[in-house]
Amino acid sequence: MYAYTENRQMPSVIKTFALSLAVAFIGMASGVYVPPALFLPLAILELAMLLGVFFLRRKKAVSYGFLYVFTFISGITMYPIISHYIATAGANIVLMSLGTTTVVFTGLAVYATRTKRDLSFLGGMLFAALLALVCLAIFNLIWPLNSTAMLAYSFIGVLVFSGYVLFDINRMKHYGVAPDEVPLMALNLYLDFINLFISILRIFGILSSKD
């Protein structure tokens, strides 16, 4: 029964995750048409939706519609970030970051699905590390970190979100995925990928500025 559930729903999660990335890309491409004054309200809406997911995840209340609306808005709010790095570091840095993220994510995903170990013990440590990253991000808004501190922060981000890739995929392998959990699991993978990408992009951007 467990193997049947896993084999049936895992492809659905991966397909939904891939479609979420495509929707986010469309949102990012649409960002060029969005007035600058709207980016902050959209970012606040994105954060509010994310907090809603946190409180609703036990009820499995994340729908496909919610997922695609969220990823579209997420794509729009990423537009200023991507355009900033294209302007300051070049498009090659963005493409290299995306390629590196894809390779790292795929490698971690393969390991997480093939290992016989249950990596659920990582959950508590990863959540604590994530809270620390959030606190540092808030601190950075008030007292901006220098490039060395931001580089260290970004490397920690890569470790944390790489850990979440292992944790989320391994959890699906060992505990299966119910049909109504597919959008939530795809959203988890989307957040893992995007945050890993932004951390790697920040690293490459800082290193390129020091050349």
The domain in which residue 111 lies consists of 2-209
Say which range, 3-7, 53-57, 81-85, 201-205, has the weakest mean pLDDT: 3-7
Tens of pLDDT, residues 147-166: 899 999 999 999 999 999 99
Kindly indicate the confidence band of residue 180, based on its pLDDT and cuts at 50, 70 and 90.
confident
Q: How far apart are CA 189 and CA 210, in angstroms?
A: 32
What average pLDDT does the chain have?
89
Tens of pLDDT, residues 91-137: 999 999 999 999 999 999 999 999 888 898 998 999 999 999 999 98
**Threshold 0.85, pTM exceeds:** yes
Would you list the DSSP string of 107-139? HHHHHHHH--S-GGGHHHHHHHHHHHHHHHHHH
Residue 196 has pLDDT above 90, yes or no: yes
Q: 77-83: long-range contacts at Cβ-Cβ below 8 A with a sequence spacing of 24 or more?
A: 77/31, 77/39, 77/42, 77/43, 77/46, 78/24, 78/27, 78/28, 78/31, 78/194, 78/198, 79/27, 79/28, 79/30, 79/31, 79/32, 79/34, 79/39, 80/31, 80/39, 81/198, 81/201, 82/28, 83/31
Residue 53 pLDDT = 80
Q: How far is CA 132 from CA 50, 115, 135, in A?
A: 18, 28, 5
Residue of 59 and 167 predicted with greater confidence? 167
- Tally the domains of the chain: 1
Residue 207 has pLDDT above 70, yes or no: yes
Q: What tokens does 193 get?
A: 């990928």
Residue 27 pLDDT = 96
Kindly indicate the confidence band of residue 30, based on its pLDDT and cuts at 50, 70 and 90.
very high
* Beta carbons within 10 angstroms of residue 115's beta carbon: 13
